[in-house]
Amino acid sequence: MRYLLRELEAVHGMILKSKKIYIMLDFDGTLTPITNDPRLVTLSVDTKAVLRQLSIDSRFVLVIISGRSMGDVRELVDVEGCVYVGNHGLEMSGPALSFVHADAAGMSKLLLNISSELTKTVSKKRGLIIEDKRLTMSVHYRNVPRQDVPGIRAAVRKVVRRHKSVEITYGKKVMEVRPRISWNKGTAANWLIERFGDGLPLYFGDDRTDEDAFSALRYGITVLVSQKWRSSNAKYYVKSTEEVVAFLKSMISPE
């Protein structure tokens, strides 16, 4: 991987040659720092202003693509003209767009039942947050005492194993219970590009689920957000959410 901020001339050259650019941005850990409680996160005024400027440029298709529910991320970002992609691509909305993956739509009752079962068995563990997002479910253990984490992970796996139509994926101190279907951030990103027309994808993300998009968008500009070096399918990296915003600002007024 190459450090994006040292490659500005080359990257801006690719952008200037493209008539349409898909700016695809993860939310937590990319546009805003990860917080101990995902319910308390906010988007800075400065970042929101940058997104608004990008959203009114006819060259850009601005896409916020998150593991959060679509309604949640739309409320947090609150920028008109964006395409909002929630639940790792299972639901999308935007200008002339309303989509819910057909195979996932019928699983909300099952996920609610799993959430209820886990609430009964592990919810009393200090610091644990169980988040029902209708099409998926998240078990956040960032604030759980270290000695309790193995038991929680084992309990979640035990419950999920009983249901063949769902699976577990892992993020930063979170377990995601998702429909077992061939759909992720990468397939969702390519679906959007096919729907709205060819263009250059520019994708920023920080988590394991973003690796699906990095792999699917090899023909574009893919950027890992990580303070520490790690192996990734991304072509470039930046070190912080602040550097993400700095690059986005450079797209508004490239030097």
Q: Which residue numbers are catalytic?
A: 26
- What is the distance in angstroms between the CA of the first residue and the CA of the last residue of the chain? 23
Tokens of 46: 């400065």
- Number of Cβ atoms within 10 Å of the Cβ of 30: 27
Find all residues with CB under 8 Å of 171, minimum gap 6, and list them: 67, 207, 208, 209
Hey, what are 23's tokens? 């700016």
Residue 62's DSSP bridge partners are: 23
Residue where the block lists tokens 């699976």: 167
Whether 194 and 207 have beta carbons less than 8 Å apart is answered as: no
Counting Cβ atoms within 10 Å, is residue 237 exposed (0-12), middle (13-18) or buried (19+)? buried
